Structure 1
Amino acid sequence: MAPSNWTSLHPSTFILIGIPGLEEAHIWISIPFCSIYILSLLGNGLLLAVIKTEPTLHEPMYLFLAMLAFADLVISTTAVPKILCIFWFKDRTIHVNVCLTQIFLIHAISCMESGFMLAMAFDRYVAICNPLRHSAILTNWAIIKIGLGVVMRGAVLLGPHPFLLKWLPYCRTNIISHTYCEFMALVNLACVDPTPMSAYSLAVAFSSGGLDFILIVLSYIMILQTIFSLPSKEARHKSLSTCSSHVCVMLVFYTPALITYLTHRFGHVAPHVHILIANVYLVLPPVMNPIIYGVRTPGIRQRVLHILGLTPA
């Protein structure tokens, strides 16, 4: 499709082509995408309802989990409906302002999700390493301040992204070889040296997700030291079980994120492979998080079964 609606080297629309090389398979690829999206909406919506209605779950870990579930709903809804429009209806056009908004939301909320992961790790650290002061440290007001701090960090760090992209001259093409708008994908279309923007993006990624991951690893080193110093095998097993769900969620979130980031900047993989990995990063964590916590947390599991009418009141 030829570029259109150009004004002073600034396009008014971009064209998303989906997954290059797999256009004929778009309709088949859409089936798991749609199924996963519906499951993520149901799972996270149900998780939010359970945490809201069950007083025993009004604890820091589950309140941070509720924040993560809400972020999952927003990030998947930001990207997946447009992806399905591309796959089903070949509706590839996206207005520049919608594209820039999508970039901001995807990157900012990913940063917020990483912050919520760190908050959950901090909660586990206090609960296991300093249990007598857990309720005094993580008060409701402290939880609110942490949540607001995570949101503000994401907004401030990623806020400049759309404004930087807005004024770049796109004199090559307005066709984006991707299923959604992505920061470096637009930078690579511009008639400027991408190195400074790539360095800026790398610095932002490290100061948010990279730093969060390092702090989470450090917190779990201290948690494990405390757990293995416990005299009772039962106590060690119970402490480990309280951390297992969070560790699983972290792996689901950070593994595809890291693979996506490294393949985009340093790897030499086929474009369709990179884009598929990038889409997995958007759709997999939102559907897996409620499943992980629903299966591994008795309080959530029993409440969900009750809501679904599978257990007596």
Structure 2
Amino acid sequence: MKLFRIVFTASFVCAAVLLTGCQTAEFTMNYQPGEVDTFKVLQETTKEVSFEQPSKEKSKLDRNVGRVEMVFDQKVDSVKPDGTAILDITVKELVFFSKNSKGVNVDFNSKEDKGGTLASLIGESYKISMSPDGTVEVVDKEDIMKKCRSREAKTIFKDEYIIKRHTIRGIPKPGTAVSKGKSWVRYSSSPKGALDAKAFKKTYNVKQMKDGTAHVKMTGSQTNKEIEGLDVGSGSMGFMANIFDTKDTLEGSMVYDTETGEVVKSEEHLVSEHVAAEQPKDGDPEKGPDVLTMKFIHKYSFEKI
């Protein structure tokens, strides 16, 4: 019995399947009450600011890093007639790391640190719901919130962070055909903490279907299209965003086992780089301009273990 059963209702169709290897499966979510499995999720954000002054032979770099890793058991408590599953989440392992230019603020790993407020969260549970289209909502977190006595703990279990933690990014809409060469599009906004706010178009392409496993590649780009229900929010740069040249690199991947219907792995990596250059009045032109570079890096991974 396996919990997070994202089932590709599948008969492999194509008359030429033996000749071409064409395998097609229809994507639907199908949970079975009582199923349990274990997952690991990582969410990491890095902000960097560097200032280079070649004429003065000076440079400065500030870096802030925040990372949360969680290993959890997920049990299907029940399934509603519309296919929405109620999932019970139990924390098994937890990592919380925070660092700024002055040094490390928090460095907690439940495998090594058995004391403190974060350690008390191990073994605690909360409930979420997962709809057939992948929408996550918080159902009940009262018990675990009683153990959240520190700012870090309260942050980890805010509704918005719980939802982001358990939303598997990029899964197709129910009924989508999944086969080699097939693609689908999803939209998302900039991650929380991004320097400028924007919407991204993510295109998922099935690169390979082999031995019942679908290997999916994602590429993303900024879009100015208005997406219903998508809150782009506001970035932290404000009016300063106009003085920078910006480059975004958004990539990701997923691996699906179509025989068991499981998301084996899902990853996403965003790098937003903002660069402004100016030649100082008293600087040496041959040494080049002063350069201010700001980076926002966001990593996400979901993995069955």
TM-score by length of 1: 0.26
Bigger helix share? 1
Structure 1 or 2: larger strand share? 2
Higher RCO (C-alpha 8 Å, min separation 6):
1
Larger radius of gyration: 2
